[in-house]
Chain A
Amino acid sequence: MQEAQTYWFDVGPVTAIPLRGARTVKTPRREIAVFRTATNDVFALENKCPHKGGPLSEGIVHGHKVACPLHNWIIDLESGGATGADQGCARKFPVKIERGRIYLDMGMAAQA
């Protein structure tokens, strides 16, 4: 097993994101979209649609998916992958929730 370094960053309370909504986290290299679903699950993807780079954080969240605001590709929040006939993948970041706060693993972001 490869031992990946993890760097958990506290990015704020879960309640700061509306249900079925998203907010962004800006980092020096990229912008990350953090989604909260209707049932309080939280996911993080790079805020860049695999199609033409649309800001996924602005899309409509339904179930564990988000519809890109530019051309309506449907991206799976769990994997970052495009669904249906479309091909491509948005980068995914590990998230954990502790005591109602969201932690993003930036160890992933640090590589590559």
Chain B
Amino acid sequence: MGQIEQFPQPKRLVIIGNGMAAGRAMEEFFAKQHGPMKVTVFGAEPHVNYNRIMLSPVLSGEKTFEEIIIHDHAWYAKHGVELRSGEPVVGIDRAGKTVETASGEKVPYDKLIIATGSMPFVIPVPGANLEGVVTFRDLDDVEKMHGAADKGGSAVVIGGGLLGLEAAAGLALKGMKVSVVHLMPTLMERQLDPSAGYLLEKAITARGIDVYTKANTEAILGADCVTGVKLKDGTILPADLVVMAVGIRPNFGLGKAAGLECNRGIVVDDMLLTSDPDIFAVGECVEHRGQCYGLVAPLYEMAKVLASELAGEKPAGFVPAVTSTKLKVTGIDLFSAGDFSDDDINNEVVLRDPARGIYKRVVLRDDKIVGAVLYGDTEDGAWYFDMLKKGENVSDIRDTLIFGQAYQGGSPLDPTAAVAALPDDAEICGCNGVSKGAIVAAIQAGGLTSLDEVRASTKASASCGQCAGKVDLLLAATLGDSYEKSSRRPMCKCTDLTHEEVRHFIKTKPLKSQPAVMQELAWKTSGGCPSCQPALNYYLLCDWPLDYRDDYQARFINERVHANIQKDGTFSVIPRMWGGVTSSDELRAIADVVDRFKIPMVKVTGGQRIDLLGVKKQDLPAVWADLIASGLMSGFGYGKSLRTVKTCVGSEWCRFGTQDSTGLGVKLEKLMCGSWTPAKLKLAVSGCPRNCAESTVKDIGVICVDSGYDLHIAGAAGLHVRATDLMGHVDTEEEAIEHIAAVTQMYREEAAYLDRLYKWVEKTGLERVRHAIMEDHDNRKALFERFLLSQRVTRKDPWAERVAGKDLHEFMPLAVLTRIAAE
């Protein structure tokens, strides 16, 4: 016993915070050889150390608190640690080397560790401090949520990140009606790309949880207790409980007050030492090389380094590492790691299985994996993550990488040989369970020669279309030389489907967003390309006018700013001049604008209206404002949309005129303006067959005759000159309008993006169009109704919207720097 005196005095180690980083650091420390140390731990929470990340299953009821305890009282006793739980430290006296507790007691230390973690961020909206608004950080929060859930009712979770979704899923399991409000367009956007975000949203919605994306919280409602949440767009969501899960902030107040160097967190070096040589900091409260952390893996690494340093081992130091993420919601498998911001199709490998809800994407740079997103099947997450961390060169296995570790070793076959080599019972179409044998038999027995026929007779590729390429190869293999493969033109490199097939699936499945199309139709890329994005945007807008929100960023600059870009970066402005008719007031307004903005060129276009060329981008809203004030509006001279309706003077003035061609043209233009179409759409109405308005080279042309109106379609006079075909004859102006709108709608609904109307008619057949519009009266009326519905939604003057402030950022520089050093 007397020998003890020969040991050096035990050092006094004080730890502030009894969370995961502190717990792990102690564990690592006690496992090492070390000098005598008297450890005191202060924890603000009145508990032993528990596994914070498992609070989610505790919330959902899948685990109990006892099950998630990391260190029980016996553990502290065994290691001689004095645990002072429920006692927050309120101050550090660095000169006197003591910490002060809430009760005013001063406890001395030789070495101090700050491990105070983070604090949940509460967005400062009105009502944020009402009773019933909680965060999700500790056991106390979970107990409050359990209390609310016991009473039933509804909960709103603000924040659709990892924490928010785990809270939402837990509360839903506890029987509450839950809504998630998320600021960004897709859930967990920091960890997932939009494709995986789409699948996640689908899975969350399937649990009965309502998801509101692009939703900004304006206020939390209620007098003393929460009653609801109000969004910026005016929506009110009733709520008895509001969970704020919008992010965390390092909890470094104590360190800052004590004068330690702090930035976003307490600044530490590679040994976790703060600016005071006797004070370390570890966990979420620190900032290391400019970075803060919010996941445990890097904190455990820090704990290791800190323990080693305390034990005097001179460790190599903490190095930041890539982290990976999983969501702990039973039944939802997702994994993400690294950087997946590059969506260049050459730098990624993507695998989608729509039938099983699987999406996998591995992002490569210089033949090394830099990121991975897996949804639905995360088995290979660890394998990819391992190669990512090691920086392994994967060029040899690139072709099979995406099939996972189990697949490696087999040599990849070329696709034709692979299909030919398949056994007869191999499943080609997963959705409809059609085997290779069945398809080959159908081709041979039925004399089938096209994919459409195979689809009709076997259902193969009729559901998601993912196997269309394979079926095509089978046709080629079965029919040999007699099969003309070139007849199928896939939409772009992202898919094997044609434009028409994609359109068909959008309508029938139905698919209402770009990520939905890409996932359910097994896109080969993660986010499409500049060629399919605008097409999909148009198809979705056309087919779901009430549901789909236009994606402006998928549009070409002209359609985004509603003016034509010129070679010098200025823009041209063409107001509508209905049917080519104008007035002194309009002309005066145009003249004034030209003077006021010094517009260099005024030209009469080939479309019977006036073009103002050379307008500076930032002047556009002001130019429009002046034009609008005089009743003018956007002429859509820039869009895949209705352009002009040219007219001649007609029966009102012309000695040959048979009908009011000018009046009909004006009516058509007023009815159809603002409509988006697969390619530009031009109309003309001529008052007699002399055809002064050049109706027979327009997409849709009307020739007035004594007995009524001849309706022509499918003309063009651009790169390709083509006279129209006669679609039919109608007797009245009213009928003419209905027939023209109906054929426009049919073209809108069926044509491939960028196909002018004549191209579509050539593909689908004039006779089919004629029958559908001239003879099938119910069909025509239905088309007309759908056209009107779509117009009700889209027919707004985009110039007026922008003058009123929409997309103002498009027209103003982000900043103007007038003085720059040395410039």
Contact = CB atoms under 8 A, between A and B. Distances in A.
B126 interface: no
Contacts of A88: none
A69 B570 CA distance: 12
Contact of A64 (B342, B812, B814, B818): B342
A21 B341 CA distance: 15
A7 B820 contact: yes
Contacts of A110: 820-823
B818 A28 contact: yes
B236 interface: no
B817 A62 contact: no
Interface in A4-30: 5, 7, 9, 11-12, 16-21, 23-29
A7 B819 CA distance: 12
A26 B569 contact: no
Interface in A37-69: 37-41, 52-55, 58-65, 67, 69
A17 to B, nearest CB: 7
Contacts of A52: 567
A65 B556 CA distance: 15
Nearest to A106: B820
B439 interface: no
Interface stretch (B11-19, B465-473, B525-533, B769-777): B525-533
Given A11-B814, A18-B553, A23-B813, A38 B343 contact: yes
A26 B823 contact: no
Contacts of B822: 110-111
Contacts of A17: 809, 814
B821 A60 contact: no
Q: Is the interface of A mostly helix, strand, loop or mixed?
A: loop
Nearest to A34: B814
A31 B533 CA distance: 28
A109 B553 contact: no
Interface in B778-823: 809, 812-823
B814 A25 contact: yes
B815 A11 contact: yes
How many residues of B sit at the interface, in one of the four size bands?
Answer: 35 or more
Contacts of A23: 809, 812-814
B317 interface: no
Given A18-B809, A26-B816, A60 B553 contact: yes
Contacts of B818: 28
A72 B17 CA distance: 57
Interface string B330-352: 00000000001111100100000
B441 interface: no
A54 B570 CA distance: 10
B341 A64 contact: yes
A69 B822 CA distance: 32
Contacts of A106: 817, 820-821, 823
A103 to B, nearest CB: 11
Given A5-B821, A29-B823, A69-B557, A62 B529 contact: yes
14 contacts: A11-B814, A16-B809, A17-B814, A18-B809, A19-B553, A21-B553, A25-B814, A25-B816, A27-B817, A37-B341, A41-B341, A60-B530, A63-B527, A102-B814
Given A58-B569, A62-B529, 14 more contacts: A9-B815, A9-B817, A12-B814, A12-B815, A24-B813, A25-B815, A39-B189, A40-B341, A55-B569, A62-B527, A62-B530, A63-B341, A70-B567, A107-B821
Interface of A: 5, 7, 9, 11-12, 16-21, 23-29, 31, 34, 37-41, 52-55, 58-65, 67, 69-70, 102, 106-107, 109-111
Interface of B: 185, 189, 193-194, 340-344, 347, 527, 529-530, 533, 552-557, 561, 565, 567, 569, 809, 812-823
